[in-house]
Copies of this chain bind each other. A is one copy, B any other.
């Protein structure tokens, strides 16, 4: 099949996938053009159809790959046995926020996922089943541990969705959030670490497991 591939960035298929990720994430499926992707990848226009068949198949493959790389970054069993549930909650929220908002990995990966969440296509089902649903279940189990049998599953799901929503808005509507919050405050309070503290504290306080937000000194 393949003839001579040297490094990953020399393989045209890789280069196209990477360029397509950026362009699709930035402009969306319709507005992204095959010509732009090929220009960014430094390959001929015909390469997309040669390697992937057509634009739609390239898109599906791009989403699939971004999704799988994202999954690979998430540790399967993050905590040693005996870790307190509230520590797990803080870790979970911090990790999700870091993955959503952090500047580490290429931004387009999560941005592409976000597009699928906002307006699902065929590629969305795999994303939910392979990535989002397991994370949701993990959060549910943490909350179940915290509630210690005092909340039913439906209430746990409501609470879980509340927590996810508080993180989600920063990723999905970050621009508007930036218009509502002063710039300096945006940089100091609405970033992964302080946000994770705030959201965790809110959830624990709502569960009666931490002092209310109005108390000036939250416990560590």
A residues with a Cβ closer than 8 A to B are 27-28, 30-31, 117-118, 120, 124-125, 128, 132-133, 136, 147, 150-151, 154-155, 157-159, 161-162, 164-170, 172-173, 175-177, 179-181, 185, 189-190, 195, 198-199, 202-203, 205-209, 211-216
> What are some 26 contacts across the A-B interface (CB < 8 A)?
A28-B30, A30-B31, A128-B176, A128-B179, A128-B180, A147-B213, A150-B214, A151-B214, A154-B185, A157-B189, A158-B190, A158-B198, A159-B202, A161-B166, A161-B170, A161-B190, A165-B165, A165-B166, A165-B167, A172-B172, A206-B206, A206-B213, A207-B214, A208-B211, A208-B215, A209-B212
Q: Which residues of B contact A165 (CB under 8 A)?
A: 165-170
Task: Tell me how many chains of this kind the complex includes.
Answer: 2
Q: Which residues of B contact A203 (CB under 8 A)?
A: 206
> Which residue in B31, B161, B166, B209 is a CB contact (below 8 Å) of A181?
B161
Q: Which residues of B contact A118 (CB under 8 A)?
A: 118, 172-173
Q: In the complex the two chains form, is A180's CB within 8 Å of B214's CB?
A: no
